[in-house]
Structure 1
Amino acid sequence: MAETLRVASVNVNGIRAAYRKGMGDWLATSGVDVLALQEVRADDSHIAELLGDEWHVLHDPCEIKGRAGVAIASRVPATAHRVGLGALDAQEQIQSSGRWLEADFELGGKPFTVISNYTHSGEVDTPRQEAKWAFLDAMGVRMDELAEERDYVAIVGDFNVGHREFDIKNWKGNVKRSGFLPRERAYFDRFFGPRGETVTGVDGSEGVGHGWVDVGRRFAGEVDGPYTWWSNRGQAFDNDTGWRIDYQVVTPALAEHVADYRVARYPSYDTRWSDHAPVIVDYTA
């Protein structure tokens, strides 16, 4: 019988608030084996109390209190874990704390690494955007390192960038906003471009491709969405005026083991427990 590992990722927008709104009920019936969380904004004790004894929890809180925070909860304990991106200077490390957590598991007897990633949201022409550029640069460096080290790696979570026009319902109105800037999208052109080959980004820049796979786009095809985040303003959720900014990005070898992909969109606005929906992928050995 094939071994299946179900990996879910979601920006919870504060885990305590998410649980008050019904996250626990969803998790109890989700069948998830590894749960990657972003924007946790809680202490270790809060997470442990909410999730319960059946989960093994790794947590990297943000050094700036009340912000960010990533966690990985799993049915079986990770064999090892690492925190943070190495290619950042001291100040950038502080700004990027609580945003990158790696945990090692196994799939079919082979090492399988899951990374909970919470990329900066950014803001044009501010230090927040500079922090985002530094984080994206460091992510590219780490992606190359990981691809050299192991076959099965999944970087999951809130990347805070819509890569293509398919990924944002109102893309024309957002081309000058952080999250859909041509320069940001060019990073993703390189992330998903052929490894080692020259890639021309949507902004006209040239760089070297990293060769990773966007599971959501490969699985869904050339269609709008499926969106993973909706603004709380107006009727964005009801009208499905969303953004696809939550991804599962994997090494090519792992992409061959994707059995299913879905966005667990909430039945209605009033049943949401976060402004992001969980992204769920089944990996089968």
Structure 2
Amino acid sequence: MLRIASLNVNGVRAAHRRGLDDWLATRGCEVVALQEVRCPLDALPDGAFGDYHVVYEPGQVAGRNGVAVLTRHRPVAVRTWDADVLVRAPDEDHLHTEAAPDDVPLARGLGAHAREGRYVEVDLAEAPITVASLYLPKGGLPADLQVAGRMRGEPDGGARYERKMRFLDAFARQLSRTRRAAARRGREFLLLGDLNLAHTRHDVAGWRRNQRAEGFLPEERDWIDAKLSPRTLVDVVRSLHPDTDGPYSWWSWLGQAYARDAGWRIDYHLATPRLARTARTAVVDRDHRGVRLSDHAPVVVDYDVPHGTGVTR
């Protein structure tokens, strides 16, 4: 059994103060994908990733973004879009980086995001799987839906919305290329991460009032709908929880959203069909020893993949 988790930590230092190190040490995951680590290499907490091998792409925007993949065994290969990454074994106490460009041509439109700390992927040593960690831009509202005084921030004329939609358009092409490249290497593909969008009404509490909210706009839902099919990628958590609301993975820190479980499901395991069929359980760790690790929660899936013997049919 291969236990794999995805978590937007919303700052790895803050998450450690809340118990991330203990969660990593006790949860029994073979692979953990992290997003929004928001920490330069020289500021990582001591023992930040326990006894895991770490591949860490901090990005070049101070205090923002950043992704990582933690594995029990050193990855066979590491790829990013165009960035230097930290690759470190658990018994190493020094920092070093190495260039690891993706062997798939970068889709037009992603160049502006290539060093923002949004994407990294590894080939696992313990199973024929390529695992990627993605932090997709949050975005905003289109200009025609922006009303001053009804938004948290100031209207921006739709700039953040347009930036996200350009990213989605480019990443759609990149995702297809990457999935096919994994297949050529004889590997299944698993995309983990915070997509900053919810797919269906089962993925947003109070979905009716949120239909014109960023992250649940019709065009955003159409985008993920187009990415999923029985032949390309499967939403693993939804496949195991087909008719339930949630399980949600993000809740606002404001008000009683968490207590009322008024959340959003925006953190995903998107797997190639053959791998998705091996998924046995999918749970969201809402807290750890009574403490929230982040405004997101870990999404943990057990895949029935024996170590070293390949993906079962």
Task: Provide TM-score, normalisation by structure 1.
Answer: 0.86
- Quote the offset at 1:50 in angstroms: 3.2
Question: 2:136 pairs with 74, 98, 119, which one?
Answer: 119
In proportion to residue count, which structure has more strand?
A: 1
Counterpart of 2:278 in structure 1 is: 257
Task: Provide TM-score, normalisation by structure 2.
Answer: 0.79
Is 2:222 aligned against 1:186?
A: yes
1:176, 1:25 → 2: CA distance?
39
Which one-letter code corresponds to 1:185 in the other structure? R
Counterpart of 1:104 in structure 2 is: 123
Is 2:161 aligned against 1:129?
A: yes
CA-atom RMSD in angstroms: 2.0
Question: 2:294 pairs with 267, 274, 277, which one?
Answer: 274
**Contact residue 92 and residue 131 of structure 1 kept, 8 A:** no
SS in 2 for 1:216: helix
Q: Share of identical aligned residues, percent?
A: 41
Question: 2:199 pairs with 159, 163, 188, which one?
Answer: 163
Question: 1:138 pairs with 160, 163, 170, which one?
Answer: 170
| Deviation readout 1:135-157 (Å, 9 max, x if unpaired) | 22222212222332324111001
- Quote the offset at 1:238 in angstroms: 0.4
- Quote the offset at 1:176 in angstroms: 1.4
Which one-letter code corresponds to 1:116 in the other structure? S
Select between 158-167 and 170-179 the one with higher mean Cα deviation. Answer: 170-179
CA shift in 2, pair 1:172/1:153, >3 Å:
same
CA shift in 2, pair 1:272/1:69, >3 Å:
same
| Deviation readout 1:227-249 (Å, 9 max, x if unpaired) | 00001111000000000000100
**Unaligned 5+ runs, structure 1:** 196-210
Is 2:46 aligned against 1:26?
A: no
Question: 1:228 pairs with 216, 228, 249, which one?
Answer: 249
**Contact residue 88 and residue 134 of structure 1 kept, 8 A:** no
**Contact residue 19 and residue 288 of structure 2 kept, 8 A:** no
Question: 1:75 pairs with 65, 69, 72, which one?
Answer: 72
- Quote the offset at 1:258 in angstroms: 1.2
Is 2:172 aligned against 1:153?
A: no
**Unaligned 5+ runs, structure 2:** 82-101, 143-157, 306-313
- Quote the offset at 1:91 in angstroms: 5.9
Question: 1:62 pairs with 59, 63, 72, which one?
Answer: 59
Q: Which has the larger radius of gyration?
A: 2
Give the 5 Å matches for 1:6-21: 6-21=3-18
CA shift in 2, pair 1:153/1:91, >3 Å:
closer
| Deviation readout 1:75-102 (Å, 9 max, x if unpaired) | 11111111138214476225x7211111
Counterpart of 1:213 in structure 2 is: 234
**Contact residue 246 and residue 264 of structure 2 kept, 8 A:** yes
In proportion to residue count, which structure has more helix?
A: 1
**Contact residue 88 and residue 135 of structure 1 kept, 8 A:** no
* Number of residue pairs aligned between Structure 1 and Structure 2: 263
- Quote the offset at 1:107 in angstroms: 4.9
2:133, 2:203 → 1: CA distance?
21
